[in-house]
């Protein structure tokens, strides 16, 4: 553990030199805001209010005491703060900003098919062990896809498994939603038609982060599944066709819910690809079926359509796609804002096909994984 070797003070920061040669800057407002006494011990909510100090807050005195803690006496509020050096080092934003960002995502293409067993996991392993649950969550977070094998095939029987993670994201499609062909369908999923690669519900401000398609019966001819890693396609465009990539991240498209059973008109503008604060991929929004009449500026409509066209074609390119067939007891689980999914048409007269679908927010997957790994 590095020790504090030297401290210097300037008008807005303390500069710490550590015994291993690293240097950190700690801003006065930041230090005051993060005084260890600032938080309630039970709720962990901040009770101290930074708005109660003036913008000219400064330091009257500082030292490293016998216990090795940094003591800071503030210019106002008659308060002294005591910081553990290991806490300072762990939360040092100088070093954090110096380190290279490492993406949690492992991107994949058609070659995933060669190691398909690596993304398959036994239902009971998840239900019975934390190791199984962690493995499932890691697949969902890092690869964006996992197939749960040997789940029960009774209706609604995926709840105990999903509740190992957390609660469900409810929508008007109800939980589970029934993927079965019905007369006068309100959604093209509820037909026997092919579904081109798509995400579900892109017209929500926040489309569901994850989707779980639980196969109960799949005995009809056809109805094979597909998956494509939208982040991998985005990465390809970023590296090879940058103008198209820039259009996709910068110009919002419009999506709309056209469900005739709804007494609600939901729509949302968002770009086809959005990025995180680190420039990593955050979301893909792609669905030919529910893209609305676009209303982009006339000067950019041509390039928006060319970019959409190129992106859509790559999202169906066999170089990027894996094809597989769900069997009874499989749960096709995936990041709905990264992985595009589809199916081939099936013949409803040749047999029966029934999937039950569930959604969950991305926070639930990542939050649970963070907790279990801690």
Give alpha helix (H) positions in the chain.
28-33, 85-90, 93-98, 123-128, 130-138, 159-162, 230-240, 242-250, 301-314, 362-373
**CA distance linking residue 37 with residue 55, whole number of Å:** 20
**Per-residue CA distances from 259 to 162, 173, 196, 256, 265 (Å):** 27, 10, 18, 9, 9
Question: What is the closest distance, in whole angstroms, from the C-beta atom of residue 170 to Zn ion in the complex?
Answer: 17
Question: What is the closest distance, in whole angstroms, from the C-beta atom of residue 200 to ligand OGA in the complex?
Answer: 5
Question: What is the closest distance, in whole angstroms, from the C-beta atom of residue 198 to Zn ion in the complex?
Answer: 6
Residue closer to Zn ion by CB (options 177, 245) is 177
Structure tokens at 215: 């196969």
Q: Is 322 in the site for ligand OGA (CB under 6 A)?
A: no
Q: Is 13 in the site for Zn ion (CB under 5 A)?
A: no
DSSP state letters, 46-89 = B-S-GGGS-TT--EEEEEE-TTSPEEEEESSSS-EEEE-HHHHH
DSSP state letters, 236-249 = HHHHH-HHHHHHHH
Q: Is 357 in the site for ligand OGA (CB under 6 A)?
A: yes
Contact segment (CB under 5 A) with Zn ion among 95-103, 193-201, 253-261, 364-372 equals: 193-201
234 binds, among Zn ion, ligand OGA, none (CB under 5 to 8 A by kind): none
Q: Is 338 in the site for ligand OGA (CB under 6 A)?
A: no
> What is the C-alpha end-to-end distance of the chain, expressed in Å?
20
Question: What is the closest distance, in whole angstroms, from the C-beta atom of residue 371 to ligand OGA in the complex?
Answer: 29
Which residues inside 144-183 make contact with Zn ion, applying CB under 5 A?
none
Q: Is 200 in the site for Zn ion (CB under 5 A)?
A: yes
179 binds, among Zn ion, ligand OGA, none (CB under 5 to 8 A by kind): ligand OGA
**CA distance linking residue 192 with residue 182, whole number of Å:** 9
Q: Is 355 in the site for ligand OGA (CB under 6 A)?
A: yes
Residue of 196, 238, 337, 343 that binds ligand OGA (CB under 6 A):
343
Which residues inside 177-206 make contact with ligand OGA, applying CB under 6 A?
179, 189, 195, 200
Question: What is the closest distance, in whole angstroms, from the C-beta atom of residue 289 to Zn ion in the complex?
Answer: 9
Partners of 13 in the β-ladder? 27
Tokens 């000067």 — which residue? 299
Q: For residue 97, count CB atoms less than 10 angstroms from its CB and return exposed for 0-12, middle for 13-18, buried for 19 or more.
A: exposed
Residue closer to ligand OGA by CB (options 173, 245) is 173
Residue closer to ligand OGA by CB (options 137, 179) is 179
Partners of 4 in the β-ladder? 18
357 binds, among Zn ion, ligand OGA, none (CB under 5 to 8 A by kind): ligand OGA
Binding mask 214-253 for ligand OGA (x = CB under 6 A): -----------x----------------------------
Q: Is 208 in the site for ligand OGA (CB under 6 A)?
A: no
For 293, the 3-state DSSP assignment is coil
| Residues within the interface to ligand OGA (CB under 6 A) | 179, 189, 195, 200, 213, 225, 341, 343, 355, 357
| Residues within the interface to Zn ion (CB under 5 A) | 200
């Amino acid at each position: 553990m590095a020790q504090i070797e030297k401290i210097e003070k300037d008008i807005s920061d303390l500069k710490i030199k550590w015994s291993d040669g690293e240097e950190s800057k700690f801003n006065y407002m930041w230090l005051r805001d993060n005084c260890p006494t600032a938080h309630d011990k039970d709720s962990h909510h901040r009770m101290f209010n930074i708005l109660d100090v003036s913008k000219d807050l400064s330091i009257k005195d500082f030292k490293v005491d016998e216990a090795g803690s940094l003591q800071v006496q503030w210019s106002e509020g008659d308060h002294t703060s005591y910081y553990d050096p290991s806490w300072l080092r762990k939360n040092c934003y100088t070093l954090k900003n110096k380190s290279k960002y490492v993406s949690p995502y492992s991107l994949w293409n058609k070659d995933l098919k060669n190691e398909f067993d690596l993304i398959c996991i036994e239902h009971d392993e998840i239900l019975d062990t934390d190791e199984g649950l962690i493995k499932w969550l890691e697949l969902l977070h890092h690869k964006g896809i996992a197939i749960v094998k040997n789940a029960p095939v009774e209706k609604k029987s995926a709840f105990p498994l999903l509740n190992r993670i957390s609660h469900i994201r409810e929508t008007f499609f109800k939980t589970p939603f029934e993927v079965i062909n019905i007369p006068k369908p309100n959604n093209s999923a509820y037909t026997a038609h092919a579904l081109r690669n798509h995400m579900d519900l892109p017209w929500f401000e926040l489309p569901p982060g994850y989707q779980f398609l639980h196969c109960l019966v799949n005995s009809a001819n056809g109805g094979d599944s597909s998956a494509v890693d939208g982040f991998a396609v985005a990465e390809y465009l970023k590296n090879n066709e940058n103008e198209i990539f820039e259009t996709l991240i910068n110009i919002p498209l419009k999506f709309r819910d056209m469900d005739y059973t709804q007494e609600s008109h939901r729509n949302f503008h968002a770009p086809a690809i959005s990025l995180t604060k680190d420039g990593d991929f955050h979301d893909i929004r792609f669905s030919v079926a529910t893209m609305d009449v676009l209303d982009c500026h006339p000067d950019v409509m041509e390039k928006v359509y060319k970019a959409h066209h190129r992106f859509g074609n790559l999202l169906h390119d066999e170089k990027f796609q894996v094809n597989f067939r769900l069997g009874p007891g499989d749960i096709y689980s995936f990041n709905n804002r990264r992985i595009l999914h589809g199916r081939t048409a099936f013949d409803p007269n040749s047999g029966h096909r029934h999937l039950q679908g569930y959604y969950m927010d991305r926070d639930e997957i990542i939050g649970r994984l963070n907790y279990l790994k801690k």
